[in-house]
Amino acid sequence: MENQNWLVTDEGQVETFGTAEVEAPERIYRLYRFLTELEDLLAAVSDDQDRLRQIAPMVRTLLTSAYWLQMEYKEADAKTGWAVNFLYREHQFPLTVQMVTWAPGSRSTIHNHATWGLVALLGGQEKNHFWRRSPTPDTPHRLEPAGELLMSPGDIITFTPGAIHQVEPWGEEPTISFNLYGVTDFKQRYVFDPEAQTAKRF
């Protein structure tokens, strides 16, 4: 099956966009160049969906050209089931650039990111479960399932700020991914409990 770029909206709708094919750059597409061009793009494009459609091929070029990045992951922690390795940190740098590892049998909380996000799967398979808000007067944080998607290495999934999902490794291998996020609005970031129909700040 061919690799895909996926977009998940605030309503839990999933759509494909673009192509997984990218042209090889004439010279190595280094991380610093990617970050500089990313900052320029974010300054020029304000719509999150438009941003994500343009960022995805940049990430594909980066991961294909700067192959060393794919080795920059940590083993998942035995207690938490996951691990994060930040690829770039600078004082007041507004973006999150990291490698994330999930161990088989682990599972994330049900959450949003309160910013745009992109996840490029590099190893293992990952199942995403999607949710949408379905509030009532008595249960303002009520959620309902909105579908699921099984990702394979080479797939990219992107999220608008209000998209709600849960991830889990699928199979016996850990998942390894390149994750990229914008500036988080922490007043809007939540962890959800669909059974209790509650939400709490992340």
**What would the pLDDT profile of 23-71 be if each residue is shown by its tens digit?**
888 899 999 999 999 999 999 999 999 999 999 999 999 999 988 988 9
Residue 160, domain CATH: 2.60.120.10
* CA distance readout (Å), 21 to 26, 154, 155, 175: 16, 10, 11, 22
**What would the pLDDT profile of 158-199 be if each residue is shown by its tens digit?**
999 999 999 999 999 999 999 999 999 999 999 999 888 889
Tokens 């939400």 belong to 199
Provide the number of structural domains found in the chain: 1
Give the residue numbers spanning the domain of 59.
5-201
**pTM more than 0.75:** yes
CA distance 72 to 135: 41
- pLDDT at residue 137 greater than cutoff 80: yes
Q: What is the SS3 string spanning 63-110?
A: HHHCHHHHHCCCCCCCCCCEEEEECCCCCCCCCEEEEEEECCCCCCCE
How many C-beta neighbours within 10 Å does residue 176 have? 24
